[in-house]
Every structure is written in structure tokens, then in C-alpha cells.
Structure 1
Amino acid sequence: MSFGEGCHLHLIDGSAFIFRAYHALPPLTRKSDGLPIGAVSGFCNMLMKVVEESAGHDAPTHVAVVFDHKGKTFRDDIYDKYKANRPPAPEDLRPQFPLTRDATRAFNLACIEVEGFEADDIIATLARQGREAGGRVSIISSDKDLMQLIGGGVEMVDPMKNKRIDSEGVEEKFGVGPNRVVDVQALAGDSVDNVPGAPGIGIKTAALLINEYGDLESLLERAEEIKQPKRRQSLIENADLIRISKRLVELDQNMDLDFTLESLEMKAPVADDLLGFLADMELRTLSTRIANKLGLEAPAIPDAPAVSSAAPETKGFDPDTYEWVKDAAGLQTWIDKIYARGWVAVDTETTGLNEMLVDLVGISLCVEAGEACYIPLAHIADGGDDLFATEAVAEDQINLEDALTMLRPMLEDPAIVKIGQNMKYDAKIFARYGARVAPIDDTMLLSYALHGGLHNHGMDTLSERYLDHKPIPIKSLLGTGKSAITFDKVPVADAVKYAAEDADITLRLWQMFKPQLHEKQVTKVYEKLERPLVPVLAEMEMHGIEVDRDALSRMSNTFAQKMAGLEAEIHEKAGRPFNVGSPKQLGEILFDDLELPGGKKGKTGAYSTGADILEDLATEHEMPALVLDWRQLSKLKSTYTDALQDHINPDTGRVHTSYSIAGASTGRLASTDPNLQNIPVRSEEGRRIREAFIAPEGKVLVSLDYSQIELRILADIAGIDALKDAFRQGHDIHAMTASEMFDVPLEGMDPMIRRQAKAINFGVIYGISGFGLARNLRIPRKEAQGFIDRYFERFPGIHTYMDQTVEFAKEHGYVQTLFGRKIHTPGIAEKGPRAGFGKRAAINAPIQGTAADVIRRAMIRMPDAIQGLPAKMLLQVHDELIFEVDQNAVDDVVGVVRHIMENAADPAVKLSVPLVVDAGQGANWAEAH
């Protein structure tokens, strides 16, 4: 079939498909030999989707799947640093590259790659040929570099979003038509491919310049005319690099190809070839799906993995095979197994979740997949139906102290790796019983380093996702609600199956995840930022912080009185009494009685009265602001001044928060039971709560806090010279920003103007919108948006950083901190109302994540630094560390801690701005901060 009018050519960007499939899906290996096939599976599904959805008017008559050829291209001769920043392909992806070519041929599609050229050049040449022959061309890709080809019968289709991109879409993306995309890209550069461009000029500025001067060459010739000095200087000084950049981004549309468009004619797959390939890959689901579609029987794929001398068969999960260790002889057998192996997965069962109060009930161990045991220590015998029966110890249990005496040397032996899921919990339990567990590995943290941002890292999630096994649910043993029992009341025979399975799952996850650290290039993240933090946090949590119960009680009474006063004021504004705590009644008052604008009813028929709605209304009416104040007091009272009293440990007299290492994808720690990180500090009442956190007699609390660390990191990552200079010279950054934005002198600056600049500085880090800034400052939205627009005009590098970060996230499925932490960004592809959230999260993650990594590094070094000083690290609250210190040692401690914190990034990362730490001290936390 000759190619011409009426023909439709699909050009599939195979290289992009591979990376999309690899990053979007969890690791998958062929059961028979462990060959990685996750990307192959995803690639096949994507090819199948393209084929299935191409019907009717859009059905292709000709198809080619185009790949990058390994090795150098002509662009490396133009610029030797081209793509120099790109890390090598992950180890487990490399063997899958040739398999994706095999998959393409199995689908009976043309598989094309040309040495010395990129896939984009081949696509560009074929697109030109197809257009000139009078046919339609659809490029199946989301790669922005291909947008220069659109027009004249050539379109792009983003397969992930099922979205067509035409000339208007290109203009929306780049601010210029397809014929000027190359000019804009040459100016803006590309950090992913290491295309230099013009420093300080992003996509938006580049588009403005090209639209004003017509094309790149005219712009460079007339650069002296540009009024903005930084833009003018950048263009003049970097003209040669900009011209090189254009040659790098411009695609070659005139390659000599040794095949014709006619040879790309669409053909149906040969059933035996396709099903045979899928059977070889052991892709059962896809084999069945395609076989059904072809009206054939799916090929038989063995369920059990093949056995070889090199890789013995992994046992399946069988709870009936787990061992109940009943005596010292049985336990010694397991200890001998552990020493022979060199590692052990270990898990504890306790009477609850508060590791500072619960009792140890039993311990499970596993040294080989499928072989695990449970050592019951404190189970209670069933008393039957007799309400007056005394609790008796269940039979066939080892005395708890005897068992710990036997296990303690192994738990503390540096030659034995102890593997746990959330090992911090188990380490604290053992520590309370006199065993300091080390060294450790933690499957929760291994998953966090590998998969941060993709899913949670609880054991049930990991087991179902990566082992295809649903663990025994704890509710089946304990029950729920008021009738729930504690684990010591679970019959031992049932406890064995549940507890030993936990250890078995943990070992299997460890064996799967540990080798992947190197493959995914996150070994340093796990070894330097995750694992060493466990003992540091455990020590902090066990020490706790002293809290004044009487002070909390007095605050509760004060808050109750203030709430009553606010209620009276609110009722007066409303014109009648109502329950301020009832959203339904509040909505009726605001939107029916007072007839305020913006009332929207939900599914229940009640008006929405969330904080965002009240903040909007507060700019127009006094009552919503009063309700917000009342709500804040109510939350402070219930969440802190009342609840904190219940969290005071009866044995220590202290509050012992627990830190979640793997809670936030960015690396920030989360504080729970109680949460001490969300105590408001902006309001007077919030600050007062910190007064209840006190130092014992003869000691003081010392707070050391990073000053504006995220702004400093933004200045470094985005390369904002004005901000970097201000930080280096120790200027007031908010005043400097206000001066830049509003053209006001630094001396005698109106505090309100500085406050506005401060709100914008911090808001930009979190991708704040005009709506959000308007709420924060309680100013009209138009005025707030004007502030943001002016901010980006004065600091264009920030917008460039944002655009490049979003593009990187879309292409790779993750962003990175300066220390190499990968934060996956599945939300970047979201549509609708959440689309903006995904972009904001991707933009903020490298900044917040780098700040989190810095303080982690400081905390990990702290125990050695303060050893010998009369000081203990008690709390971490975002950018702040709190210590309990002898009164006569404050200066020594501050000097040591400040040095560690300010130099925490070294030597791994050399920041171009200094880190500065503020210190304070006092009898309570409020005085110290």
C-alpha cells in the first residue's frame, strides 16, 4: 500500500514508553529466573492500549515504534556536555531495553532505531515525509521536544492523558507557535538534557522576547536594545552558547533512512509470535487478555518457579508450618540458626501500640523465607465463661526473663543484622527490657527510600503489592470496638500463625528491597539518612519532655472563657443565638440570614463552611473572622490543653511523642501521639501552649532553629543571585524582597510591606495562588495576584526552576533532593481540580525535602557531638531542635550544636548560601524559641 492522502501514520515514541512504564509500575521479575520484566509488562500494555484505542477515523494505516540507539549521537560532537547530567539507566532496566524491541516485533509493528541519532530525529524525518506525502501523522508521545513538528497535518497525542496537542496547544505550552519552539527552547535551555540556554531566562521570558523580536537571530543581533540589564547581559555574554543550544534542540528532519513509509504499513500481529513472546515473559494476565481477543486459548505458563541449582525454590506462605517455640532448647536451636545465617527478621507482639507503656507478649523470628517461629512469653490462658476465674499464664511458654537472657547477646551482637518492619518500635520495646538492638535493617525504610511518594509503607501494603500476599488481619484475632481484646489474650496457636507470618513477610521484603537500593541509586539515602536515624529518634522519644499539668489545666479554663466571650460576640453579629460548633447552623446564619455571597450546598443539603470559605468571607464581614478565632481556640483546647494532660506518662511524668520517619514523602518527620509539630506559633494562644513544656530544676530548654532554610535552599537550587547575595551578606531577606518588588528603600520600611513580602517569599515555596495569598493577607485576590506576578518578574529564575521541575517530574515520575532522595510524583498526571496540587507538590518537594535531609544529617551526627555534655536532644519540630541542658553548660552546648547544624550539608552537598541557626534558651519552650 503506497503512502499518501487518506493514510494515517502513527509514530510511537518507544523510548519514552519504556521509562514511563518503568517508573509508573512496581518492580516485577520473571518467576522462573528473576529477570526484571516490570517495564516490559507496562510497555506491552501501553502498546496494546494504543492499538485497541485506534479505531474509526483515527485508525492508523501505518505504524512505527521508534527507539533511541545506545551510544553517542551527533549532538555530542556539537556540545560535549550534552545530557551529561543524566544518570545511567537503573541496573534492573538495562536488560529490559532489548526485550521491549522484541515486544514491538512480537506485536508485528515496525521497530526502528538508527545509530548516531535520537528517536526524536527519526520521528521528525518520518513526520516530514508523511506530511509531504499528503497523509496524516500522529506522534504518540508527551515529549515537549517533539512539539516543534506540529502543524500541516502533524499532531501529537499524549497517551497518558489521552489528549491531542495541536498548534494551539503548543502556543499554550511555549507561548509561541511550533515554528518558534526551537528558538524558545534555545533561550530557556533544559537542565534535564544539559542544554545551556541563557542563564536567568525561562520559557515565559523567552516567549516574550521571541514574540517581540520575531526570531532568535534577530533577538541576538538586537540584544543591546533590551532594557532589563540582566536579560541584556545574559543574551550578550551567552550568544554562542544560545546558538549551540538551538542546534541541540532542533530536530533533524532530513535523515537518510534505509526504509520507506510504505514498509510501515499496519499489520495484524501473528498470534503464535505474540502469545509466544508473552509466554516467554510469563505475563499471564496480558496473555489471557490477548488470547481471548484473538479467539484463541492462552498459552500455558507454569505457576511454580523453575528450580535450578543456583536459585532454590522460594517457599510459599503456609502458616501451618510456622513453629511454636515452647522451651529453652527450642529457642537455642533458633539462635544457632541465626548465627549460622548472620541475619534474622524479628518482630515483637505487645499489649498495645504505646511502646512506652505496653508489655511484651511474644517475639517472632525468621531466617529463611517460609521458615519462621513465634516465642510466646506472656499469653494468658482462656478462663472460659467464668467471670470470676483468675487469669493464669498459658502453657508451653518460656519465662520472659529467661528468653530475653538467651536472646539479648544475639540482639546486641554487631555480627548479626536484625531486620524489622518499623524497627524503631521493636527497638524501643527491647530497650525497655534491657536490650540495645544493633545493627538493624528496616523494610519500611527500604521501601521509603525506593518508593517514597508512590504509596504508604505499612507491612500489609508492601506484602500485597510486592509479594502478592494478603497477611492475616489483626482484627481477626483481636476483634473490634468495645469487645476487642489485647494480644496476650489471643490463643497461642492462633498467635503463632499471625506473628511468625509477620517475620516471614519482613524477611522476604528485605531480600527483595535491599538489592534494589543500588539499582535505583538510593543506597546513600538509606544508609546516610534513613537507617542511622532510627536509634537517634528512639533515644529522643524514650527521654520525652516534661510538661506542667497545672499550666495546661489553667490554659484550658482560660480558653473556655475566651470561647464563651467570642460566642457572645458571634451571636450578636448573627442577630440570634446558635451552636457555633455546628457547621449546618453556621451555614444557615451566614448564607440565609446574613445573605453573604458564595454559599454552596453539599450532598447533605448543608452549606459548606470550611476554613477556606470563612477566610474568603472574612475579607467582607466580621463574623466569619470571629468564627475562625473561635474554632482555633476550640482546637487548641481539645487537641492540646485537654488532650496533652492524658499523654503524660504516669511513670516518667513526661510526654513521649513518636516520630514517623516514613510518613511524608519529602523526608519530613511527622510527630504523633501526641503531635507536637502542629502547635500554632503565630497566635498568642498557640505560643502559650509551649509555656507548659518545661525544663526540670537546674536545667533549661535550649532551642536551635534554622533561619529561613527553605528560602536559602530555593535560592541555591533555582540559582537566584539576588537572594543568594542577600543571604551571604546577612541582609533581612523579607525587607530586601519588598524593596525589590515595590521599589521602596530598606530604611524606614513600612512593616506591613515587609509582611506582604514575607508572605510571598514563603508562599512561593508552596506554590501559593492568588486566592491563597489573598486569604493569608486578607486582601483582594486581584491585588494578591499582582504581588505574585511582580515577584516572578523580579526573580524570573524561580519560574524557570518551577517549569523545569514540573517537566522533569512529568518525564521521570519523580523529583530529587540535593542529597539524592527520590520523591515520586504520581499526582503530576492528575487532571481537574487536583492538577495544580500535583504540580505544587513536585515544585516544593526538592526544596522541602532538601531541608528535611539537612536536619536529618544534623540529628544523626548529634549524639556523638554532645556526648560528654550535660544535654539531651528532646524534640525535632520541622527546622528546630530542642535540648534539655544543665544551666551552666548552655553556651558550650549551643556552640557545638550550632556548628553541627550549620555544616550539616557538608561534605555531600556544597550549598552556595550559608545556613544560619538561631539559638534561644528558657525555663520553658516558649521562652527558648
Structure 2
Amino acid sequence: MAEKQHLYLVDGSAYIFRAYHRLPPLTNPEGTPVGAVYGYTTMLWKLAEDLDKAEGPTHLAVILDKSSRSFRNEIYSEYKAHRPDPPEDLVPQFPLIRDATRAFSLPCIEEPDVEADDMIATYARAAQRQGWDVTIVSSDKDLMQLVGEVDGARIDMLDTMKNARIYIDEVEEKFGVPPEKVGDVLALMGDSVDNIPGIFGVGPKTASKLIAEHGDLTAALDAAEGMKKSKLKERLIEHRADAELSRVLLTLKEDCALPQPLEDFRLDGVPPEPLAKFLETHGFASLLRRLDAGTGSPDKPNDLNPAKADNKGADASPDGNSQPLPEWPDVDRSTYECVQTLERLEHWIERAFAARLVAFDTETSDLDCMLCDLVGFSLALGPNDACYVPLAHGTGDMFDEKPEQIARETALAAIKPLLESDAVLKVGQNIKYDLNVLARHGIHVAPIHDTMVISFAMDAGREESGIGGGHGMDELAERHLGHTCLKFKDICGTGKKAIPFGQVPLDKATEYAAEDADVTWRLYQHLHRRLPLEGATRIYERVDRPLIPVVAGIEREGIKVDRAALSRLSEQFAETTARIEKEIHAEAGEEFTIGSPKQLGDVLFEKMGYKGGKKGKSGQYSTDQSVLEKLSQQGATIADKVLEYRQLSKLKSTYTDALQQAINPNTSRVHTSYSLVGAQTGRLSSTDPNLQNIPIRTEIGREIRKAFVPDDGNVLLAADYSQIELRLAAHMADVPQLKEAFEAGEDIHARTAKEMYGEVDRDTRAKAKTINFAILYGISRWGLAGRLGVEPDEAQEVIDTYFKRFPGIQNYIHQTLETVRAKGYSETLFGRKTWFPRINSKNQAERQGSERAAINAPIQGTSADIIKRAMTRMLPALAEAGLPDVRMLLQVHDELVFELPEGDVEAASPVIEKVMAEAALPAVELSVPLGIEIGTGASWDAAH
């Protein structure tokens, strides 16, 4: 009996991008980038070795995409329109990858006007008609439409990432329908990666259910008319044409012309000569040695990897400083140049263009980037190769002679082409500040890197170990370079004797400013090469780096506040606190300073005799909020009054008074500053002023939000992720009940109440809400007891019941803690690491604190990553929709706030909703929908 033929079709395009992201940037002896080529070669070699050990193919071919366009672009011009261009260093590797395929003496198929998927479909069907078995080496969901058997000839798939076979059962498990119906499901869902529209709001479960119930796409769409009134019905009817178009785009072309006959794909072994020549040409020494030794595919790419073979990796070092420094000379401030003429500045600019990378820093008169004057800037092109360009130095005395310096407008006109050139990378430390300073002068700096943000992407949380401090330049220089930078106070002084930077003598100013650029250059060269070695490239390049100019833009926009309304609130708060102060004194029987913890403690626990007072190391009683709340439960009305007094005093000083002072005299708006590295989990934090901690649920907090208003003719729009952390918990912990509830649009707290208590009423729902959030934050029995007002034993019973009803949550907590204890860090779905150096501490308080934070970090961090991705995509999407007047003003926890003309609300709302709902894609496909709540109004409060 003749041997049955078995054809393997390798989706080479998928291999290319996996290979590119797998390895750090590498170059061959000619200086050409070859990181992806090397990764592709090792992956192809490993595949061949694995197939040889298993049931090997008789025929094999690699299928590649010829170009980024195909016949589908003629059907739908927006097809794949949102796909970014391939990375610059990947483009020259495409022809080399084809050379690599041919070096293995394998057919390399690529045809114009059709995609690799279409060629795979055509060859697979052609082989199946001849009675051959076919295996498609890919995990692409579109290709799952081909899986199945005809007359004994079987088509399956091989996912090499998971080393798993995909056949009919696996397809049905993923989509809920047989392979031939997968295209119908995908047509309803759409695909944001390929910009296939589908029907917005229809997720995988809803799509699968519709096709399973009605049989196919047409029947499901026809059935919409008979459905009960719902948002789903409206969407199916309104967007029917989009779904039908999507089905056409998703249909694989199975009748392409065959550039080579199937018989040409027969495997007859790999002749060593062409492969050896290819490996030698590109410097792949370890692969060449393995080829000579006949030992099969390599396990690790050692020959081009910049990490040393004996390096234990970054994870082995608690301070993240495991990579050796290049042999740079020590910082020598005497080498820096003070540039005082246009001719010398043009010389530096010319050199910077040639270097293609320049470290850059500004010196200003104030920390507020929206109010400061630009005093000078510095450049660095290498170690000790740095300069300072003064622009506004002088003593400030009109009779004193100013030092020689270039006129500010002249210098900025000269530097502008460099800072805006796509050909030169600009590197900064907290470069967001510099972007805002220069934007006020009409200079928009790009492309950029930020050493502070790079450090955060790799080492967030490591500062908790006490080893290296935070991510400021001084800390990073000490930690990574072993260098102590000049301090600002060293040259400007402190207190009453402090002088502004513009009055610092030029020799001292040059040492300080040029050192900043020099150190930034060194930090970039050291830190940036760690990114791929430590798996941080993805989070930095896909989330953090693109966000920097977006956040800078938000800060420049600012938000308008009603000064008169704030003033009225301040007066009201002052009157109310004065009244409460008198009431407190009356209850105490004496006057005392309520803001003094010592005096308050003495009154409460000694004079008034309340129980539960505890003295700390300072010898005074604790009077924090938890203590006062316990006294309130005992019936101490004075405690309630003190709590109200404190809240009003804080709101007055922090918001109603401070916001009036924060109004920018030039823009008449308030400009907060967002820290990109302020929260360990990756959330943005707001300062100067902090707009993220205004109480949401209290009437007082709402009064403050009413003071945030738009310009005349505009409205504010607030778009909020609904219960995003619970949705992510349902996905990450794989909790069927919660996923079903979110898919169906149920009240998640009511669903939890039903699961926990068997009934839903106001009381059980409130308890369920508390439990849902508390357990995700790793709360203890004592903590939950305090929140529910029950005994610790009863709280433990609640926790046990919760875990029994939702075992996935308990498994998630257990697995997360085990992973963090072993690795030292947690990871979000997008790969953001948060380190917990005290997770194994012998100190119980430290250990338990780390455990609670570690449980929540992947969820809260993923939430932060998602809204960051939404922010980055938002303005381009609005511009593409013809809505350039929609401005993004604030990011507050899970909410984005916009200002827009009232007439743009109807058009802008679905764009904003779509961007936010699809922000995780294509990197992460969630098993729950992301709910978005949108409101508009004449104030921030009215928009909720």
C-alpha cells in the first residue's frame, strides 16, 4: 500500500513577528539587523527537528505574505488600515527571512494580491482533494475554518507555541460552533486587528450563541426582527451590512493559482551546503557549529545575544542592575562645553544629526511646565561629550551686563529641525516635562525615549527593597552608574539664599545642566539594552512609550474651573467648620485645637473617658480615622463631628482654596501633572493639583465637581470603564458565573448576592459589593469583619463561602502568590512587572502587606494598561472620524474626561466607546466585554 502523503503548510508570517519580539536587536557582520532572522531560523529548525522525531511530513512549504495589500482592499478600502507599519529595523529583514527559508531548501510561497491565509487554504484544499492529510502550522483563528475531514483526508492545525494540535473538538470548544461556521461567528465579532467591522458590542459568546441557535449568519441576522427589544436587536438590524461585508472579508480564497505544484514540496532532507553558507554569512556561529556537529536545533541563541552566557539574568538581582556597564570613562564635568554662539550650536546640531541619537534636557525658571521660562538646554552625544546652551542667564539686575548667549528665539529656531526630525532619536529623563516646555515654544519633539519610564517598565516596586530608590535621575545614576550627580541645591542654594537657575554663573550652570544630559545618555544606553533581555520591551513599546506625548498633551489642555463657584464653596466650608468646631468644644467642655492629635486624644480618652485609646511610641493617643469610626460605633457623637470637621477642612484646603490658586493666568485653566511612574501598578497619579481624589459618592464631592466646567458652547463628556477590575478578575481567574453575568449585562453585585446569600435585596447587594472588591484586594478576615460590621469568625465564613461559590478566585489568589514568591514579581496581561521584594519577609506585617498588594497588582495593573492603550489610540481615532475639536482633558482612575462642542456628542460617543472597549486588542483577547458608561453635561458632575 502506498504511503499516505502528509503536507505541512507553515504560516511563515506569524513566525516572523514572533521571532522579532523574541530576541533583542541583533546585527550581522555587515551591520544589518538580523534579530528576527535569527529567531525565525531557530524556530524553523526546531520545527523540522520536532517533526522528524514525531510523525514527519512527506511534504512541507512555508507560506509568506507578499505585501500588505490584497484583493480585500478592493472590496473594503479600510481593510487592515489600522495596522501599524512594521518596525523600522524589521523591514530589511524580510528578504533575509526568505533567504533563510530557501537555505533550508524549502519552498517559499508568496503571491501578489492574495494573503498567506488564502494560499494556505488553496494548497490545503488541493492536497485534501488528492487524499492527502494536511497540517497547518499556525494558531490563526481564521484558518480554523479549514479544519475537518473529507473522504478520509484530514486537515488539522499545529500550534507550536503551545505544542498543541487543533482539530474539530478544539475549534468547537473555542467558538461553540463547528469549523465551517467559524467565519459566521467572526463576522459578527469583527476583528480590530484587521479592521473588519463586525457588529460593535457583539462579543465571542454572543456571536457563538447566535450562530449555534440560528445555523448561520444570514439566519441570525434575519431573526433579529423577531427578537425582544434590546441593544443587541438594534445593533444586529442597524449593522447588518457590516456583518455581511465582514463575512466576505473573512472568506478564505481557496482557488488561487498554484505557483508550484504540490509534488515540488516533497521533503528529501536538508542539504547542508546552502544552509551553512547562509549561517556563515550572517554570523550565526552557534547554529553553524550545531550544523557541523549534526546536533539538531539550538536551544538558546547564544552567539549574537548580548547577554553573557554566565549572566544569571535580571531576575536574579534584587536591584535590577545585573547587566555589566560598558567601559565608559568616569563623568568628567570639565569636558563640557558652554555654547554661547550660533556657530557652535550649529556644530553640535550637525553632529547630533550624524549621531542619530541625542540626550536632551531643558533648564527652566520653575517646576510648573506651563508657567516656567526656558533658561537653557543641554545636549549629549556620548560619555563626557555634552554641552549647555544658556538662553536667559543674568543676575536680574538691569544694570548688570548679561553673559554672552544666543537669543532664545534664534537658538530655538536652530534646534527645532533636530528636535522634530524623525531621523534622530531624542532621549530624556522625565521627558514629558521637556515636551510641554518646548510645545509652548512651537516645538513638538519626536521620536522620543524616556530613561525614567524605561526604568519603571523593568523595575517598578524594586525601590521597596530600599536598595536603589525610585526612578529619578539622581537615584538611577547612583544605582546603575555608581555616580553622584550635582544637586540643584548645590548650585542654587536653599532657603532665603536660594537663587533662580538663570542667575547661576555659566561655568557652574554648564557643569550641572550638561551632566544631566551626559548621565541621561549613559542611562539610556545601559537601560534600553536591558528591555528585551528582561522581557519588558512589550510593555514599554506598546503601552508606556506611546503614552508619554499623549499625557503631555492632556496636561497642556488643562480643564476650566469656575472660580466664583469654588469661592462660594470655600466660604460655605469655612462657615460649617466654624459651627462644627463650636459644637465639638461644647461636647468636650473646653476649647482645644482640633487639628492637634495630642490635644484631641487627651480630650477623648482622658477627659471624656472613652475606651479603646492606645498610645504610640510618641506617647500620644492615636486619633486616626479608624479610631474615630470605632468611637462613633460606640455612640460618641463627638467622633462623628471630628470626622466631618476633618473632611471639610481637607476639602477646603486641598480643593476649593487650592484650585483657585492653581488657575493658570495665561490659559485660565487648571493644569494637573500626571506621574507616569508614581503608582507601583502602573496607574497614572495626579499632582499639583491632585484631581484624582475628589470624593465621588458624597454630596460635597459632587459640589466640587460641579465647579469643573467647559468653555461656552462646549460640554464635558465622561467615559468610564464599568467595574473593569471585576471584569478582569472574572477573565483572569476564569470564573464562569461572573463571566456569564457580564456577558448578559447583569448587575454583578446582585449576581454575587444571589450566589452568596440566595436572595437579592438592598442589604445583600451592598454586602456583595463590599465582598467583591475586598477579596480582590486580599483582605483579611479582620479587615472584612470591620467593613461588614461582623465578628472575624463570621467574616471568615463569608470568605470561605465566597471561595466555594467562586473557586476560580481562590485559585487565582493561590497561583498569584506562589508565582510572586518564586519570581519576586507579578505580571499584568500585557507583561508589566511589579516587584515585591518583601513577599518572603520574616516580618509578618511586611509579608502580608506585600501579599495583599501582589494579589491585586495583576488586575489593577492590567486595568491601568488598558486605559493607557485607550488614551494612546483615542485622538487618532477621533481625528479619523472627523472630530478634531474633541479634546481629552483628564484621566481619573477608570475614567476619561473630554471637552467637545455640544454638536459633536452624538458622533464622538460611539468612537470613544469603541476605542475604550477594544483597547486590549489585539495583544489580549478578553473573555468578558469591557463595559463603557458615557455621560455628558455642563459640568464634570453633570456628566455622570
* TM-score tier (shorter): 0.5 to 0.7
**Counterpart code for 1:603:** K
Partners in 2 of 1:784 and 1:618 — Cα distance? 21
Corresponding residue for 1:427?
A: 435
Aligned to 1:512: 526
Q: Within 5 Å, give how 1:673-684 maps onto structure 2.
A: 673-684=688-699
2:487 is aligned with 1:479: no
Q: Partners of 2:667 and 2:821 in 1: how far apart?
A: 50
Q: Is 1:660 matched up with 2:675?
A: yes
Q: Is the 8 A contact 1:379 1:393 kept in 2?
A: no
Contact 2:886 2:901 in 1 (8 A): yes
Q: Distance in 2 between matches of 1:739 and 1:598?
A: 37
State the distance in 2 between where 1:495 and 1:716 align: 54
2:859 aligned residue: 847
Change over 3 Å in CA distance of 1:674–1:437 after alignment to 2: same
Partners of 2:368 and 2:481 lie apart in 1 by: 29
Unaligned runs of 5+ in 2: 1-52, 54-161, 165-308, 313-323, 464-469
Q: CA deviation at 1:778?
A: 4.7
Describe the SS at the equivalent of 1:316: coil
Equivalence map 1:120-199=2 (5 Å):
none
Following superposition, the deviation at residue 483 of structure 1 comes to 2.5
Q: Which segment drifts farther, 482-491 or 425-434?
A: 482-491
Aligned to 1:734: 749
- Counterpart amino acid of 2:409? E
Distance apart, 1:282 and its partner CA: 13
CA distance in 1, matches of 2:789, 2:602: 24
Evaluate the alpha carbon distance shift between residue 515 and residue 583 of structure 1 in structure 2; reply closer, same or farther with a 3 A threshold: same
Is 1:421–1:506's contact at 8 Å kept on the other side of the alignment?
yes
Consecutive unaligned residues of structure 1, counting only runs of 5 or more, are 1-76, 78-191, 195-279, 284-304, 384-388
TM-superposed deviation, 1:608: 1.0
| Kept after mapping to 1: 8 A contact 2:738/2:748 | yes
Q: How far is 1:193 from its partner? A: 15
Deviations 1:757-802 (A, max 9, x none): 1111111222223443344445555544443333223222212211
1:759–1:364: structure 2 CA closer, same or farther, 3 Å change rule? same
Render the CA deviation track for 1:813-860: whole Å, top value 9, x for unaligned: 111000111111112123232221100111110000000000001000
**SS of equivalent to 1:469:** coil
2:932 corresponds to which residue? 917
Instruction: Tell me if the contact between 1:619 and 1:778 (Cα under 8 Å) persists in the aligned partners.
Output: no
The amino acid that maps onto 2:592 is: F
Alpha-carbon displacement from aligned partner over 1:281-306 (angstroms, at most 9, x marks no partner): 999xxxxxxxxxxxxxxxxxxxxx99
Residue of structure 2 equivalent to 1:523:
537
Q: What is the CA-CA distance between 1:623 and the residue it aligns to?
A: 2.6
Residue 845 of structure 2 corresponds to residue 865 of structure 1: no
> Offset of 1:444 from its aligned partner?
0.6
Offset, 1:352: 1.1
Distance 1:815 1:376 in 2: 45
Seen in structure 2, the aligned counterparts of structure 1 residues 481 and 281 have a Cα distance that, compared at 3 Å, is farther
Cα distance in structure 2, aligned partners of 1:769 and 1:800: 17
The answer to whether residue 479 in structure 2 is matched with residue 465 in structure 1 is yes
Q: CA 1:770–1:686 in 2, change beyond 3 Å: closer, same or farther? A: farther
Tell me by how many angstroms 1:725 deviates: 1.0
Equivalent residues in 2 for 1:689-700 (5 A)? 689-700=704-715
Contact 1:616–1:775 under 8 Å retained in 2: no
Q: CA deviation at 1:486?
A: 1.1
Q: Read off the aligned partner of 2:533 and give its amino acid letter.
A: E
Deviations 1:48-74 (A, max 9, x none): xxxxxxxxxxxxxxxxxxxxxxxxxxx
Aligned residue in 2 for 1:441: 449
TM-score by length of 1: 0.65
Given that residues 806 and 843 in structure 1 are in contact (C-alpha distance below 8 angstroms), is that contact kept between their aligned partners in structure 2? yes
Aligned-partner Cα distance in 2 for 1:772–1:672: 29
**How far is 1:401 from its partner?**
0.7
In the alignment, what sits opposite 1:584?
598
Residue 857 of structure 2 corresponds to residue 829 of structure 1:
no
Q: Specify the SS of the correspondent of 2:701.
A: helix
CA separation in 1, counterparts of 2:738 and 2:411?
A: 60
Q: Could you tell me how far apart the structure 2 residues matched to 1:784 and 1:683 are?
A: 27
Deviations 1:414-457 (A, max 9, x none): 00000000110001111111111000011011111111111211
**Match of residue 398, structure 1, among 406, 411, 431:** 406
For the 8 Å contact 1:378–1:393, the answer to whether it is kept is: no
Equivalent in the alignment of 2:780: 769
The answer to whether 1:323 aligns with 2:337 is: yes
Q: 2:384 aligns with which of 352, 370, 384?
A: 370
CA distance in 1, matches of 2:790, 2:692: 29
After TM superposition, give the deviation of residue 477 of structure 1 in Å. Answer: 1.0
2:917 corresponds, among 883, 902, 907, to 902
Q: How many residues align?
A: 621
- 1:554-613 deviation digits (Å, cap 9, x = unpaired): 111111222233333333443444322221121112211232222111233211111222
Measured in 1, the distance between the counterparts of 2:375 and 2:401 equals: 11
For 1:332, the equivalent position in structure 2 comes to 346
SS in 2 for 1:924: coil
Q: Name the CA shift for 1:781/1:526 in 2 (closer, same or farther; >3 Å).
A: same
Question: In 2, distance between residues paired with 1:776 and 1:282?
Answer: 48
State the SS of the aligned residue for 2:652: helix
In the other structure, the counterpart of 1:804 is 815
CA shift, 1:664, in A, is 1.0
Residues 374 and 499, structure 1, Cα contact 8 Å, conserved in 2: yes
Aligned to 2:574: 560
Q: Which residue of 2 aligns with 1:638?
A: 653
How far apart in 2 are the matches of 1:617 and 1:893?
Answer: 50
- Report the counterpart of residue 497 of structure 1 in structure 2: 511
- Residue 57 of structure 2 is matched in structure 1 by none
What is the rounded CA distance, in whole Å, between the counterparts of 2:640 and 2:780 in structure 1? 21
- Structure 2 Cα separation of the partners of residues 281 and 391 of structure 1: 65
Give the C-alpha shift of residue 742 in structure 1. Answer: 1.2
What is the DSSP-based 3-state SS (H/G/I as helix, E as strand, rest coil) of the residue aligned with 1:845?
A: helix
Alignment correspondent of 1:612 = 626
| Corresponding letter in the other structure for 1:738 | A
SS in 2 for 1:642: helix
Distance 2:163 2:845 in 1: 31
Counterpart CA distance in 2 for 1:625 and 1:767 is 29
Is the contact between residue 839 and residue 846 of structure 2 (CA under 8 Å) also seen in structure 1?
no
Indicate conservation of the 8 Å contact 1:380/1:391, yes or no: no
- CA distance, structure 2, for counterparts of residue 875 and residue 378 of structure 1: 33
Match of 2:642 in 1: 627
Task: Determine the structure 2 residue equivalent to 1:713.
Answer: 728
Number of the residue aligned with 1:569: 583
The percent of aligned pairs where both chains have the same amino acid is: 51
SS at match of 2:936: strand
Q: Which residue of 1 aligns with 2:253?
A: none
Q: Which moved more, 1:610-619 or 1:663-672?
A: 610-619
User: Residue by residue, what CA displacement relative to the aligned partner does 1:343-391 show, whole Å, maximum 9, x if unpaired?
Assistant: 100000000100000000111000111211000110114x7xxxxx526
Secondary structure, aligned partner of 1:820: coil
Cα distance in structure 1, aligned partners of 2:674 and 2:860:
18
The separation in 2 between residues aligned to 1:655 and 1:391, in whole angstroms, is 37
| Aligned AA (1:837) | G
- Equivalent residue letter for 1:558: Q
SS at match of 2:715: strand
> Which residue of 543, 559, 563 corresponds with 1:549?
563
Cα distance in structure 2, aligned partners of 1:482 and 1:549? 32
Deviation at 1:619, TM superposition (A): 2.0
1:877-888 equivalences under 5 Å are 877-888=892-903
For 2:460, give the aligned amino acid.
G
Q: Which amino acid aligns with 2:730?
A: A
* CA distance in structure 2 between the aligned counterparts of 1:764 and 1:589, rounded to whole angstroms: 37
**SS of structure 2 residue aligned to 1:604:** coil
